[in-house]
Amino acid sequence: METLRIDGRVVLVTGAASGIGNEIARACVREGAVVHLADASEAVHTAAEQLAGAGSGTAVPHRCDVTDPEAVRGLVEGVVAASGRLDVAFLNAGLNGVPAPLQPGGAIDELPFSSWRRVMDVNLDGLFHCLQQCARVMKEQRSGSIVATASTAGLRAEPRVSYPYVVSKAAVVGLVRQAALELARFGVRVNALAPGPVVTNIGGTGPRPAASVAAWEDSVPMRRWGRPADVTGLALLLASDASSWMTGGTHVVDGGASALTQVLSDALPAPDAGDR
């Protein structure tokens, strides 16, 4: 379909050195886009080199810490200076690595504020900086598509995920809705992707406990973890003209997990005798 094509479009992907961001960048290069990969890690240069032969598009690396508003301004201005415009922005940079309420140190009365702040700085404030700069460019162009990475953990309570991650991703949903209302009259669309449990390094690079892996799989009707590539079909749709009347939405990719309307009580620890 002609409306699904993104060849020649200028695309920015943050958090592009690994995981979902890297897979989205790969898909865009494959489809012929000019893709600017941004990440705080030096690994973004290697990622761009690896994508060089992935398709008919091009991959350009940028080091950028999204928590630094001036760095983000320089990133977006650099993309426009190099490529002439900005058609699509996948605002994907995020982190976690903080214990969940069911883990030691993750309870609300134990969680250090520094851990809360570190996640919020990237997942929410970093997104705000990127959204602000991309909107500035796209409003002037009177066109563009902005796609933020939220999470199903931002759509309902999830005791296996940390407080700051759940709250930051819920805030992403609100920010996307608000921005979509403002930017619609400029021809700029704003949507969110909400992946379920996907195998990435966002929680750290070490092996996951087998019991935790099994518990997550049990929560997904399709009985498996997602792969970064499972998100790219929807990402490409939102980048293309096929989604020209879609804005303000949060679009779930989760193997059916969010169709479950409540967290089963079996997933929660039993009350201590003293709590009764």
Catalytic sites, residue numbers: 165
Question: Dihedrals φ, ψ of 125, to 5°?
Answer: -65, -40
End-to-end alpha-carbon separation of the chain, Å?
Answer: 61
Q: How many CB atoms lie within 10 A of CB 140?
A: 12
- Written as one letter, the residue type at 116 is W
Beta partners for residue 198, in sequence order: 226
Q: How many residues does the chain have?
A: 276
* Pairwise CA distance, residues 190 & 173, whole Å: 10
Catalogue the E-assigned strands of the chain: 10-14, 34-39, 58-63, 88-91, 144-149, 188-195, 250-253
Q: What's the maximum distance between 2 C-alpha atoms anywhere in the chain? A: 65
* Pairwise CA distance, residues 132 & 146, whole Å: 11
Give the closest residue to 257 by CA, choosing from 211, 212, 195, 208: 195
